[in-house]
């Protein structure tokens, strides 16, 4: 059969677009917008179908969720679960014993090629909450009881979905990776401004303790000067000079 269909073929009627499925035809149609009786135009990239988000779309990671209690030194090891179409992984852990939590993201379903691994040590009775970007194809976690006795209130919950990554303090995770268009390194440190002193950087302060002490000394002297001025105390200006080999 031909793909399209001619209406009233004997007189050369209109041609209707169709898809030949072999045993039947499926009509090809265009989507258009608009309420009843209103032509809202065909759907195009600039006249898209309106949608409404109903909130975060999440589902529980059954292979990485557990309420089984752990003996001292024992571990719960989750199974790699696909996060290929998910934006983030959220992990909640409650335990009355200190635990180590390892969050692994894998390239393969077998869990042999780890691409991201994060390790957290959490004190007893300190709740753990972390939402991380799902940058791998699969995710699994491992929770180990570091305490001297078995847990009695351990609960591990893992969900995947359209969540925003967040830290334990519920802040968006941010990493300072570059400065002035180049990666931060010992040769490209981030400069910091010390009040009332020359522009210095952290590498300089760490490499020259005497310089750091000179800056602190200058700050203290300056504060003393302000106090004396406010109290109308007369002082010799020479007392506030600093070593020019360090500050100039």
DSSP 3-state of 234: coil
pLDDT of residue 206: 57
Q: Quick: pLDDT tens for 99-130.
A: 999 999 999 999 999 999 999 999 999 999 99
Hunting for tokens 């002082």 — which residue is that?
235
> Which residues, other chains included, contact 210 with Cβ-Cβ below 8 Å and sequence gap of 6+?
246
pLDDT of residue 11: 75
The predicted model scores a pTM of: 0.56
* Residue 64: how many other CB atoms lie within 10 Å: 26
3-state secondary structure string, 167-200?
A: CCCCCCCCCCCEECCEECECCECCEEECCCCCEE
> Which residues, other chains included, contact 64 with Cβ-Cβ below 8 Å and sequence gap of 6+?
78, 79, 81, 91, 139, 140, 141, 156, 158
pLDDT of residue 183: 77
Rounded CA separation 231/196 (Å): 21
Q: Quick: pLDDT tens for 10-32.
A: 777 888 888 888 888 888 888 88
pLDDT of residue 244: 46
Hunting for tokens 């006249």 — which residue is that?
47
Rounded CA separation 20/24 (Å): 6
Q: Which of the residue ranges 47-56, 58-67, 222-231, 233-242 would you say has the lowest mean pLDDT?
A: 233-242
Mean pLDDT over the full length of the chain: 82
Nearest to 133 by CA among 98, 175, 169, 99: 175
Domains of the chain: 1-49 (no CATH), 58-161 (2.60.120.680), 191-240 (no CATH)
pLDDT of residue 22: 85
- Of the chain, the percentage scoring pLDDT greater than 90 comes to 38
Q: Quick: pLDDT tens for 144-179.
A: 999 999 999 999 999 999 888 887 777 777 777 777
pLDDT of residue 149: 97
């Amino acid at each position: 059969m031909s793909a399209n269909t001619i209406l009233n073929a004997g007189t050369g009627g209109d041609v209707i677009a169709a898809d030949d499925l072999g045993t039947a035809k499926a009509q090809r149609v265009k989507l258009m917008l608009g309420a009843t009786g209103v032509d809202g135009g065909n759907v195009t990239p600039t006249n898209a179908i309106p949608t409404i988000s109903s909130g975060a779309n999440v589902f529980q990671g059954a292979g990485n969720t557990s309420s089984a209690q752990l003996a001292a030194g024992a571990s719960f090891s989750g199974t790699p679960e696909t996060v290929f179409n998910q934006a983030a992984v959220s992990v909640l852990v409650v335990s009355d014993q200190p635990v180590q939590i390892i969050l692994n993201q894998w390239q393969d379903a077998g869990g042999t090629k780890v691409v991201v691994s994060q390790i957290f040590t959490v004190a007893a009775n300190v709740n753990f909450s972390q939402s991380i970007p799902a940058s791998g194809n699969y995710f699994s976690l491992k929770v180990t009881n570091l305490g001297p006795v078995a847990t009695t209130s351990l609960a591990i919950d893992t969900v995947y979905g359209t969540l925003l990554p967040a830290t334990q303090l519920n802040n968006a995770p941010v990493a300072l990776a570059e400065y002035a268009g180049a990666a931060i390194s010992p040769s490209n440190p981030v400069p910091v401004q010390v009040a009332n002193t020359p522009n210095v950087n952290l590498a300089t302060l760490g490499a020259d303790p005497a310089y750091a002490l000179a800056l602190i000394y200058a700050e203290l002297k300056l504060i003393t000067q302000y106090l004396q001025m406010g109290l109308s105390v007369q002082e010799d200006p020479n007392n506030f000079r600093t070593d020019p080999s360090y500050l100039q």
